[in-house]
């Protein structure tokens, strides 16, 4: 939680010294509309993430079984951890810096820069530097596309709530439900001898994460928050 507080304070200072604006410029004050955007984003991304994991499980010929050693206290800890992790990254990549870049460069250029930074950041968070180039490119494209989607959600809604909901919805499912993350085995764990994905299934799930899901969210945001006609 200390990291979140530090980033929050730094964001406030950046906004004040560079733009003479308060942290509320990031749309952090809760309103009914913003909370609705958070919960809708969370649910939609949870569904998309579930499709991703269950689809891959089918082609890998594995099943997910409940972890008998994972109780309510572990669930609460993991959910709290993912809430903090998503908020930390949102404040960094969809916070004050993106807000100022949008004012300076416009929405598209600012979101592209944010997505590139988000993709590169995951080389460090996944400890991939110095590794094989193909997995690095794969991670960069997938997380970079996700970064575009989250940055565009912030830009169109003018609030962190939508991007935070989208971000949290995906990682809470992947980390807490499907045990794919730094916390290790969670609520459900894979069972069976895993078959390595290859060929068109790999392409399919790459497109799902890098093109289809970000594309659907971008399309919705464009339709939902399109500029009013004169």
**What are the phi and psi torsion angles at 203 (to 5°)?**
-60, -40
Write down the pTM of the prediction.
Answer: 0.91
pLDDT, tens digit, 9 for 90 and up, residues 77-92: 999 999 999 999 999 9
pLDDT given for residue 227 in this prediction: 56
The per-residue pLDDT for 198 is 76
For the four alpha carbons of 83, 89, 93 and 99, in that order, the dihedral sign comes to positive
d(CA 170, CA 145): 14
Within 10 angstroms of residue 219's Cβ, the number of other Cβ atoms is 10
How do 188-191 and 63-66 pair as beta strands? antiparallel
Q: How many CB atoms lie within 10 A of CB 31?
A: 11
d(CA 150, CA 11): 18
* Per-residue pLDDT tens digits for 138-150: 999 999 999 999 9
3-state helix, strand, coil in the chain (%, to 5): 75, 5, 25
Q: Which of the residues in the chain have pLDDT under 50?
A: 228-230
Beta bridge partners of 66: 188
H-only helix segments in 61-178: 72-93, 96-105, 107-125, 133-157, 160-171
Confidence at residue 184, expressed as pLDDT on a 0 to 100 scale: 87
> Rounded CA gap, 204 and 58, in Å?
13
Domain residue ranges of the chain, discontinuous segments joined by +: 34-224
The Cα–Cα gap between 26 and 98 comes to 10
pLDDT digits (tens, 9 = 90+) for 161-191: 999 999 999 999 999 999 998 888 899 998 8
Let me know how long the chain is. 230
Q: How many Å apart are CA 17 and CA 22, to the nearest integer?
A: 10
Q: Quick one: DSSP state of residue 176?
A: I
The three-state secondary structure class of 116 is helix
- Rounded Cα–Cα distance for residues 38 and 169 (Å): 9
Do the beta carbons of residue 207 and residue 84 sit within 8 Å? Answer: no
Neighbours of 215 (CB within 10 A): 14
């Amino acid at each position: 939680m200390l990291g979140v507080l530090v980033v929050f304070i730094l964001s406030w200072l950046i906004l004040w010294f560079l733009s003479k604006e308060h942290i509320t410029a990031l749309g952090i004050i809760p309103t009914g509309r913003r909370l609705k955007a958070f919960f809708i984003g969370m649910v939609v991304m949870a569904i998309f993430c579930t499709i991703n994991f269950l689809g891959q499980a089918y082609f890998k010929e594995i099943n997910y079984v409940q972890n008998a050693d994972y109780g309510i206290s572990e669930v609460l800890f993991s959910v709290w951890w993912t809430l903090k992790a998503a908020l930390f990254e949102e404040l960094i990549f969809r916070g004050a810096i993106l807000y100022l870049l949008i004012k300076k460069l416009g929405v598209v250029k600012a979101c592209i820069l944010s997505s590139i930074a988000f993709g590169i950041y995951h080389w460090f968070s996944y400890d991939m530097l110095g590794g094989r180039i193909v997995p690095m490119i794969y991670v960069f494209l997938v997380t970079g596309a996700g970064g575009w989607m989250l940055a565009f959600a912030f830009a169109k809604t003018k609030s962190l709530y939508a991007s935070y909901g989208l971000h949290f919805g995906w990682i809470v499912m992947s980390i807490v439900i499907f045990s794919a993350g730094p916390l290790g085995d969670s609520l459900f764990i894979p069972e069976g001898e895993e078959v390595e994905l290859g060929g068109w299934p790999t392409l399919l799930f790459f497109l799902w994460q890098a093109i289809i899901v970000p594309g659907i969210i971008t399309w919705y945001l464009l339709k939902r928050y399109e500029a009013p006609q004169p």
